[in-house]
Amino acid sequence: SSKLKDNVIKHVKNVQKIGKDDPRRIIHSLKVGFALTLVSMLYYVRPLYNSFGVTSMWAILTVVVVFEFSVGGTLSKSINRGFATLVAGSLGVGAVHFARFFGHKGEPIVLGILLFLLAAAATFSRFFPKIKQRYDYGALIFILTFSMVAISGYRTDEILVMAYQRLSTILIGGTICIIVSIFVCPVWAGEDLHKMIANNINKLANYLEGFEGEYFPLPKKINSCAPEYKTILTSKSTEDTLANLARWEPGHGRFGLRHPWKQYLEIAGLVRQCAFRFEILNGYVLSDLKAPQDFISKIQEPCSVMSIEAENLRVALKSYSPETEKDLLEIIPGVTMASILIEIVNCVEKISGAVKE
């Protein structure tokens, strides 16, 4: 039973850690609960229920599916969903009216063929990189709404009423999501992207700074654990997603409506290039093959100067604001250059080590 207790304690600590790592996660969970309770009023309050009836189910479905962590995610999904429902709904109503020309026997066949063709075409369109990036969810909802309207149109005569109710409940659900997402402790994807990249540059500076202590170990210094820059190596997909969502967001704080998010990706690419070099460099630092002592002491001086330069770089970054973005782009090649220089120094050491053997 003490084993069970240990397990429970471990799990509780794990939960606490996830919450502590980013407290916005807890707030987001509460926001989802709040939005759902809000939309459930459509059922619980009699006058609202009388006007919407069972279709208010669609409002609940919309809230659950559309509410995302960031404002950009919520906006992108709501707009995609609303717009796709509108277009597919109109097309579906048109298809049903068109199919009725073919008599009661021909109607399901014509509708089936139309459904097959449109579903296949819309599914194929989801493979286009541009559509996949921004309108993937819209294409999905397009297929969904069109099939529903076209198929149920065969059995009910009230498709116009149905389509209208569906669209209006989706609009209610989407609006609740957008309002809660923007006005209750908003999480901006753009700000996250900004912080992530600034943080990545910081990690590079950290490594450069720590480099002297790592390679020329002084008795008072303790070696650090796994270097921070490693996460930069594979962060491309996260950055792309954030930049994508940031484009959906309205202006907020320091960021205007058409903030140049693409430039952030350029900076991120340069930072990653630099991290690649660190990765190689780190291999040499960790290897047992060290250069002769007299050679090491010869290069310690320039390396030390470089570490101080890294500290200066960090100070420059701290005062970094969107206005100095261009400067940042100019700084990066310097950092890269510096890292290549170290790389060269290390290569020379490696070679002299090999020659000695």
Binding site for a second copy (CB under 8 A): 14, 18-19, 25-26, 28-30, 32-34, 36-37, 40, 43-44, 49, 54, 57, 60-61, 64-65, 108, 111-112, 115-117, 119-121, 123-124, 127-128, 140, 143-144, 147-148, 151-152, 154-155, 233-234, 236-237, 273, 276-277, 279-280, 283, 340, 343-344, 347-348, 350-351, 354
CB of 174 closer than 8 Å to CB of 118: no
Count of positions (residues) in the chain: 357
Amino acid identity for residue 196 in this structure: M
DSSP 186: -
Distance CA 20, CA 26 (A): 9
User: Smallest distance, Å, CB 320 to a second copy?
Assistant: 25
User: Smallest distance, Å, CB 131 to a second copy?
Assistant: 10
User: Smallest distance, Å, CB 282 to a second copy?
Assistant: 11
Q: Which is nearer to a second copy, 25 or 252 (CB)?
A: 25
User: Smallest distance, Å, CB 162 to a second copy?
Assistant: 10
Distance CA 311, CA 206 (A): 8
Q: Which is nearer to a second copy, 8 or 340 (CB)?
A: 340
Distance CA 317, CA 15 (A): 34
Distance CA 120, CA 123 (A): 5
Q: Which is nearer to a second copy, 236 or 254 (CB)?
A: 236
Question: For residues 79-97, b (16+ Cβ closer than 10 Å) or e, as one string?
Answer: bbbbebbbebbebbbebbe
Q: Which is nearer to a second copy, 15 or 308 (CB)?
A: 15
User: Smallest distance, Å, CB 280 to a second copy?
Assistant: 6
- Residue 252's beta-bridge partner residues? 255
Q: Which is nearer to a second copy, 55 or 202 (CB)?
A: 55
